Structure 1
Amino acid sequence: MRRIEVYPYSKLYEQMGQPVTVGDSNIALFKLSNGDVHAIENRSPHPKGGILSEGLVSGHYVFCPLYDWKISLLDGLVQSPDTGSVKKYEVEVEDNKVYILLD
């Protein structure tokens, strides 16, 4: 598994998305109010694909800015009544650095 440094932890704003690019992957980082950081694919799964780093965050969910789909930051699953999922990335925070773990 590769560990890639992507962003300084101290520069992440709580409850706001931060887009990062790792290779060909567009990823959205989210720092929750409890300090936990989550990373998901930065594109909503509906056909027009809203940019999730621009969405509103509530609790551990982000709302797609185009269609208001509610997506879990914990597992990437779209909440009912909508369906689908986005890729979830494993994250580590160490020494004020956020890392994405890739296969």
Structure 2
Amino acid sequence: MSRKLNLDKNKIYYSAPGKTSKDIEIAINESNLIADSIEEIKRINKISEKLNKVTEIGIRLNPDFSGKASKFGIDEDIFYDFLENNSCKNTKLLVFMFI
């Protein structure tokens, strides 16, 4: 839809659970990606590497105020552990969203 409307890539944020590899590849070229899991960050990195790009991504963090697990967002503690050992060279983490 963004292509048909000729929208500026920098004004589009793509955030959805269960993104397919094809969704990610299209979003890398046509929007800003928001990752919902560590595995998704790794998939974005792998696809970016295949495309020979460094992709700037946002991260949806779940600060876990309620004490319940959430299917949306990355647990803060898991994310900070990931940052310490991050080997994803084709992603650049830019934006943090707290849900």
User: TM range, normalised to the smaller chain?
Assistant: under 0.3
Structure with higher helix content: 2
Q: TM-score, normalised by structure 1?
A: 0.27
Structure with higher strand content: 1
- The structure with more radius of gyration: 2
